[in-house]
Amino acid sequence: MSLNQILLIGNCGSDPEMRYTPNGAMVVNFSLAVNSYRNGSDGEQIQETEWFRIACWNKTAESVNQFLQKGQKCFVEGRFRSSSYVANDGSQRQT
């Protein structure tokens, strides 16, 4: 058995960007900032921010494009997907 599920709660870091794929599917992308906290060696609380690039498709994309704005709190449930590409310097990169 395997499972690929991700749950995120954070702040929308950019206004949604809508586009259509060549086959006509609607896709909306936006960035999401998720904060976590840990205690430093001196006991001071340290905030760390992880950034995620979110892609929503079809009906979900339509709703996100209509209602979500930069700065709003957002809950995301989905699957994690990574991809690799060759950078301008010729190195292999993973996103």
One digit per residue, the tens of pLDDT, for the chain of length 95 reads: 999 999 999 999 999 999 999 999 999 999 999 999 999 889 899 999 999 999 999 999 999 999 999 999 999 999 988 888 898 998 988 87
Quote the pLDDT of residue 8.
98
Quote the pLDDT of residue 93.
87
What does the domain layout of the chain look like in residue ranges? 12-76
Q: Residues 12-76: name the CATH superfamily.
A: Nucleic acid-binding proteins (2.40.50.140)
* pTM of the predicted structure, to 2 decimals: 0.82
Joined together, the tokens standing for residue 40 give: 């430093």
> CA 77, CA 75: separation in Å to the nearest integer?
7
Quote the pLDDT of residue 70.
98
DSSP letter for 64, please: H
42 by DSSP, 3-state: which? coil
> CA 21, CA 86: separation in Å to the nearest integer?
22
Q: How far is CA 2 from CA 6, 26, 28, in A?
A: 13, 29, 27
